Amino acid sequence: MSTKPLRIAVQKKGRLLDESIQLLKECGIKIDNGRDQLKAAARNFPIEVLYLRNSDIPQYIQDGVADIGIIGENTLIEKEKEVEIVQQLGFSRCRLSLATPKGMDYQGPADLEGKRIATSYPVSLQRYLDANNIRADIHEISGSVEIAPNIGLADAICDLVSTGSTLFKNGLEEQDIVLKSEAVIAASPQIDAERRDILDRLLFRIKSVLAARNKKYLLMNVPTEKVADVTKLLPGMRSPTVLPLAEPGWSSVHTVIEEGRFWEIIDELRTKGAEGILIVPIDKMIL
């Protein structure tokens, strides 16, 4: 085991924490639970987890105090730090959006000229306004941005949205998207070769875990004369596996498929005579 572990920054608390730790766990990395600690070492992989405040993580990565971090892309953009995004993680998907009170006449961002906009993301908003040639008054507030129009603090808001239910509950309408975000792994410009090597090993595991998510292993019995028709419907990693069944005239067809895609073709599979269809979760997928 390396004497210099890869230091990975994760949220101390917040939305990204559980999924970040879950991802490491699915990569086979066992971390002693360090909720009350600032850092924890993994028992079976050369990494050390640093539990930090979300908004501090970009700075720690840039300075090389942490070698990598799991962080929302939006936070990296807002903090304007020089770090490299090495992997999109596909969770904590959200968008930074402009929203206005229901009923306000809004045709486009130009309608925000001269208006007061409340946000916790002033840098990202300012960039968007500049790009659209709009001058507006940005009110930076650190939380509960959605109540700003109701209490007369602002005419519009710019906030993170995932389902839209918070906006809806507060009588706001989502108008334009300023940026889209998801959790990513960001790496420090200071990372040394030894730790880069550990990062590559970690990324290999992460890619295998992510590839398996949403993918299913599909098995079914198909009349042998229909195998060609059925395989045309199936996008496989290479091509489906076709095995003869003990019963003459029947074959077993196996493939890997996205769950959503499966539901699109299920009716056609059955029309072609597929029976005994099994859909099995995949734990890891080594590409």
- For residue 160, CA distances in Å to 55, 144, 177, 213, 287 come to 15, 11, 10, 25, 34
Binding piece for ligand AMP, criterion CB under 6 A, among 11-19, 42-50, 122-130, 275-283:
11-19
Q: What are 48's strand-pairing partners? A: 7, 41
Q: Whose Cβ is closer to ligand AMP: residue 98's or residue 274's?
A: 98
Smallest separation, CB 75 to ligand AMP (Å) = 5
Q: Which one among 6, 8, 9, 16 touches ligand AMP, defined by CB under 6 A?
A: 16
- The answer to the question of residue 74 lying near ligand AMP (CB under 6 A) is yes
Paired sense of beta strands 183-187 and 6-11, if any: unpaired
Return the residues of window 52-71 that contact ligand AMP according to CB under 6 A.
Answer: 54
Q: Is 162 in the site for ligand AMP (CB under 6 A)?
A: yes
CB 134 within 8 A of CB 112: yes
∠ CA 202-203-205, nearest 5°, is 65
Q: Choose which of 75, 87, 124, 255 interacts with ligand AMP (CB under 6 A).
A: 75
Nearest to 257 by CA among 207, 204, 220: 220
Measured distance CA(228)–CA(233) in Å, rounded: 9
Taking CB atoms, the residue at the shortest distance from ligand AMP is 72
Question: Could you tell me where the beta strands, DSSP code E, fall in the chain?
Answer: 6-11, 39-41, 47-52, 68-72, 84-88, 94-101, 116-119, 137-140, 156-161, 172-181, 183-187, 215-223, 241-244, 250-258, 275-281
**Nearest in space to 213 (alpha carbons), one of 70, 107, 89:** 89
Pick the binder of ligand AMP from 20, 62, 92, 188 (CB under 6 A): 92
Compute CA distances 240 → 100, 243, 268, whole Å. Answer: 51, 10, 17
Least distance in angstroms from the C-beta of 222 to ligand AMP: 42
Name the minimum Å distance from CB 79 to ligand AMP.
Answer: 10
For ligand AMP, the closer of residues 43 and 169 by Cβ is 169
Contacting range for ligand AMP; rule: CB under 6 A; set: 156-164, 209-217, 226-234, 243-251: 156-164
Q: In this chain, which of 20, 119, 170, 181 binds ligand AMP, going by CB under 6 A?
A: 181
> Does the protein bind ligand AMP through residue 160 (CB under 6 A)?
yes
| Residue ranges in 194-253 that form contacts with ligand AMP under rule CB under 6 A | none
**Which chain residues interact with ligand AMP by CB under 6 A?**
11, 14-16, 54, 72, 74-75, 92, 94, 160-162, 181
